[in-house]
Amino acid sequence: MTILVTGGLGFIGSHTVVELINQGHECVIIDNLSKSTIDVVNRIEMVTHKKVSFIKVEMLDKTAIRKVFQQFSISAVIHFAGYKSVGESVKQPLLYYQNNLFSTLNLLDVMQEFAVKKLVFSSSATVYGDTSIPPLTENLPLSAPNPYGRSKLMLEEILRDLVEANTEWSVALMRYFNPIGAHTSGLLGEMPYDTPNNLMPHVLKVASGESAKLQIFGGDYETLDGSCIRDFIHIMDLAKGHVKALQYVEQHTGCEAFNIGTGVGYSVLSLLRTFEIVTGEKVPYEIINRREGDIVISIADVQKAENMLNWKAQYQLEDMCVDSWRWYQSIKGYV
Ligand code: UD1
């Protein structure tokens, strides 16, 4: 039986495919290559020493998805495909709703058609909004501050409705905290195609001399050093969490949300300090105004994932920094 991985050439998708293959799963990747390149297939093959099935599919085209289900005997789906830039979503909300919602609805329709009822869905801790006090537990009230976040929240609700109406379905909603790091081989990581939005890609650009200074958004928050606090998680831990979630949906029915974080928070400044120590590189920075929409502290309560998925993050912040830097150096001048 084959696991379908949508968006499998992206940052989280590609690392998850590696982990799935390492655990003996057969995978087929679909991706529209809008935020990735075909070269990632070679990289996955180099890391795993296995051939990977890849099909370029635009998920807004339901017929194209159907063809994949006709060609392969799919037993479960891990769905990563979707746009993820908050800023872009604010400027182009329709693009985000259209892409993230319609592609998922198409996928669900085809899954129904082929009686494939097991899904691991890529959600985000952004669904906790900005009012809850950490550590954040899965049963908190949800809200989303921007179209990207709302698209994730809407999809969570759609999936809950689907499971409510079809009790044979099994869905895991994976609420990621802040994934960073890269595969320890240095062969796989986050491809720096677009202007970076998140913290680590900016840190890497500054450390490598491509940007002069990191801008830290706000130094007057009510935290120990005045910068925001995040639950950074190594991408390989996150990938392993998906393999556990797959096992979970294979053995249960219903819809469950899981926080995928470490349960430990580090400030932006302490991430920077750790990065400098473990890599030996300087990261000049300046503290500027707060970024609109930023929450002060985001930390996962990881008890549920530990108890129900038998999964716990293993990597430390030091590993995340070293692995991110190794990866970035290996692709310098490549893209
Ligand atoms: C952001 C999104 C979140 C989304 C997640 C996906 C916002 C407000 N939130 O989360 O909805 O799910 O990305 O990856 O956009 N920082 C700097 N300088 C930088 C970049 C970031 O100081 O150049 C700070 C931010 O202010 C924040 C921390 O670093 O305090 C982490 O930022 P980021 O990596 O963008 O993640 P989130 O804001 O947690």
DSSP 167: T
The string of pLDDT tens digits covering residues 261-314 is 999 999 999 999 999 999 999 999 999 999 988 999 999 999 999 999 999 999
Per-residue confidence band for 195, with pLDDT thresholds at 50, 70 and 90: confident
Distance from C-alpha of 237 to C-alpha of 16, rounded to nearest angstrom: 9
Sequence length of the chain is: 335
Q: Within 13 Å and on the Cβ side, how many CA atoms surround 321?
A: 20
User: Does the N-terminal peptide bond of residue 145 adopt cis geometry, omega within 30 degrees of 0?
Assistant: no
Amino acid letter for position 12:
I
Q: What is the mean pLDDT of residues 77-92?
A: 95
- What pLDDT is recorded for position 334? 61
Distance from C-alpha of 278 to C-alpha of 317, rounded to nearest angstrom: 10
The string of pLDDT tens digits covering residues 17-45 is 999 999 999 999 999 999 999 999 999 99
Q: Is the pLDDT of residue 335 over 60?
A: no
Distance from C-alpha of 274 to C-alpha of 14, rounded to nearest angstrom: 26
By C-alpha distance, which of 227, 234, 238 is closest to 295? 227
- 171: which strand partners? 119, 255
The string of pLDDT tens digits covering residues 144-176 is 989 999 999 999 999 999 999 999 999 999 999
Q: Considering only 35-49, 192-206, 208-222, which range has the smallest mean pLDDT?
A: 192-206
Secondary structure class of 58 (helix, strand, coil): coil
- Whole-number Å distance, alpha carbon 199 to ligand 1 midpoint, is 6
Indicate which atom in ligand 1 lies nearest the CA of residue 202: 23
By C-alpha distance, which of 173, 133, 297 is closest to 231? 297
Amino acid letter for position 323:
D
Cβ contacts of 226 within 8 Å, gap of 6 or more: 218, 219, 220, 269, 287
Q: Residue 168 class from Cβ within 10 Å (0-12 exposed, 13-18 middle, 19+ buried)?
A: exposed
- Whole-number Å distance, alpha carbon 22 to ligand 1 midpoint, is 31
Instruction: Report the CATH number of the 2-181+234-262+301-313 domain.
Output: 3.40.50.720
Is 180 a pocket residue for ligand 1 (Cβ < 6 Å)? no
Residue 35: both structure tokens together = 């935020």
Cβ contacts of 256 within 8 Å, gap of 6 or more: 138, 171, 172, 173, 248, 304, 308
Max Cα-Cα span within the chain = 56
Distance from C-alpha of 26 to C-alpha of 191, rounded to nearest angstrom: 24
- Whole-number Å distance, alpha carbon 198 to ligand 1 midpoint, is 5
The residues annotated with a catalytic role in the active site are 148
Give yes or no for a contact between 79 and 107, defined as CB atoms under 8 angstroms apart. yes
Amino acid letter for position 43:
R
Residue 101: both structure tokens together = 């919602």
Domain edges within the chain: 2-181+234-262+301-313
Per-residue confidence band for 332, with pLDDT thresholds at 50, 70 and 90: confident
| Exposure string over 209-246, b if 16+ CB within 10 A, otherwise e | eebeebebbbbebebeeebbbbbbbbbbbbbbbbbbbb
Backbone angles phi, psi at 212, to 5 degrees: -75, -40
Give yes or no for a contact between 107 and 126, defined as CB atoms under 8 angstroms apart. no
**Which H helix or E strand runs over 217?**
strand 214-217
CA–CA distances in Å: residue 301 to residues 137, 175, 176, 265? 5, 11, 12, 11
Smallest CA separation from ligand 1 atom 29, residue: 199
- What pLDDT is recorded for position 131? 76
Distance from C-alpha of 251 to C-alpha of 118, rounded to nearest angstrom: 10
Average pLDDT value over all residues in the chain: 96
- What pLDDT is recorded for position 1? 84
Smallest CA separation from ligand 1 atom 13, residue: 198
CA 79 to the chain's CA centroid: 10
By C-alpha distance, which of 70, 107, 81 is closest to 29? 81
Q: Considering only 114-118, 143-147, 251-255, 311-315, which range has the smallest mean pLDDT?
A: 143-147
Smallest CA separation from ligand 1 atom 8, residue: 294
Is 282 a pocket residue for ligand 1 (Cβ < 6 Å)? no
Is 126 a pocket residue for ligand 1 (Cβ < 6 Å)? yes
- What pLDDT is recorded for position 333? 63
Amino acid letter for position 171:
V
By C-alpha distance, which of 153, 122, 159 is closest to 16? 122
- What pLDDT is recorded for position 101? 98
Residue 67: both structure tokens together = 């063809």
- Whole-number Å distance, alpha carbon 294 to ligand 1 midpoint, is 7
